[in-house]
């Protein structure tokens, strides 16, 4: 009986060792296969700086776009109304009663592009410093010149162009990049276009008919939140992507206790 138990114990230990060896080999294979692909995604092995910058800065772009979209197009709103803990900027405003509002950001698209550019500046500097260091660690001679950054809202995307001249040299061969371009998927272009249309109605007539927009754009949700002091908060949401843009207007405001058609 003791001998049989000894044999069984040895067989069990052997089985454990075999399983452990298989697991170790499997992990080693995964590291071998996956690690190079991770480096390629980061743009190091492939020598592709666009991939490196895309991975490094894309989240920061999205964070700034989200913040700007919830605050009426600005990182630090100056003339705003507080709504659900968000400072929502007035894009059309008149502090008097009975008078139509005046556009506060007539070039809304360009304003938002500039706000995104300012918002990502620190991360941009960090990413390009990391890019230079990473390629140098892999044996490249790196030349990187400074240049302008251009943000453009386009249909269904945000384009970011870094006008920085980058040269990578290794083994006597050089790669030159005159600019680095990345793209982030977002419907901010469409939402700000609709916001501009609503604002034009607010400036001309003191109000807008939101159901018309939802009839014309089935994937669009438009919420209109009228506030007691005469302001209106608009919330535009893409039903498919969840992308959102909200802003405030104060136009043809009525004194407290007065409603259209008479006294409340």
CA distance 106 to 17: 72
Query: Which three-class secondary structure state does DSSP give residue 36?
Result: helix
Q: What is the pLDDT of residue 248?
A: 98
State the greatest distance between any 2 C-alpha atoms of the chain, in Å, as a whole number: 104
Fill in the DSSP letter of residue 253: B
Q: What is the pLDDT of residue 32?
A: 39
**Which among 198, 201, 207 is positioned nearest to 253, based on CA atoms?**
207
CA distance 108 to 105: 5
Q: What is the pLDDT of residue 179?
A: 87
CA distance 103 to 58: 32
Place of tokens 């206790």: 257
Q: What is the pLDDT of residue 25?
A: 46
pLDDT profile of the chain (264 residues), mean per 10: 48 56 50 39 61 96 97 98 96 97 97 98 97 94 94 97 94 89 95 98 96 95 95 97 97 80 38
Q: What is the pLDDT of residue 29?
A: 44
Q: What is the pLDDT of residue 146?
A: 87
Place of tokens 């999205």: 62
Q: What is the pLDDT of residue 218?
A: 94
């Amino acid at each position: 009986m003791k001998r049989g138990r000894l044999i069984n114990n040895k067989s069990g230990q052997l089985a454990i060792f075999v399983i452990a060896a298989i697991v170790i080999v499997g992990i080693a294979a995964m590291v071998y296969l996956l690690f190079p692909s991770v480096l390629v995604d980061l743009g190091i092995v492939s020598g592709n700086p666009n991939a490196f910058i895309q991975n490094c800065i894309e989240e920061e772009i999205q964070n700034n776009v989200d913040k700007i979209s919830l605050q009426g197009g600005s990182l630090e709103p100056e003339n705003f109304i507080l709504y659900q803990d968000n400072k929502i900027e007035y894009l059309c405003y008149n502090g008097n009663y009975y008078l139509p509002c005046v556009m506060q950001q007539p070039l809304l698209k360009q304003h938002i592009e500039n706000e995104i550019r300012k918002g990502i500046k620190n991360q941009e500097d960090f990413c390009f410093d990391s890019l230079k260091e990473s390629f140098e660690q892999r044996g490249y001679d790196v030349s990187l010149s400074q240049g302008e950054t251009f943000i453009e809202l386009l249909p269904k995307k945000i384009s970011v162009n870094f006008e920085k001249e980058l040269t990578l040299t290794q083994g006597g061969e050089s790669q030159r990049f005159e600019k680095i371009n990345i793209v982030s998927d977002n419907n901010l272009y469409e939402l700000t276009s609709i916001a501009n249309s609503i604002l034009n109605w607010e400036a001309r007539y003191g109000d807008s008919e939101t159901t018309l927009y939802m009839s014309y754009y089935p994937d669009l949700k438009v919420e209109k939140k009228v506030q007691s002091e005469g302001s209106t908060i608009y919330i535009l949401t893409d039903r498919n992507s969840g992308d959102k843009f909200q802003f405030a207007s104060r136009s043809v405001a009525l004194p407290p206790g007065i409603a259209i058609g008479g006294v409340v």
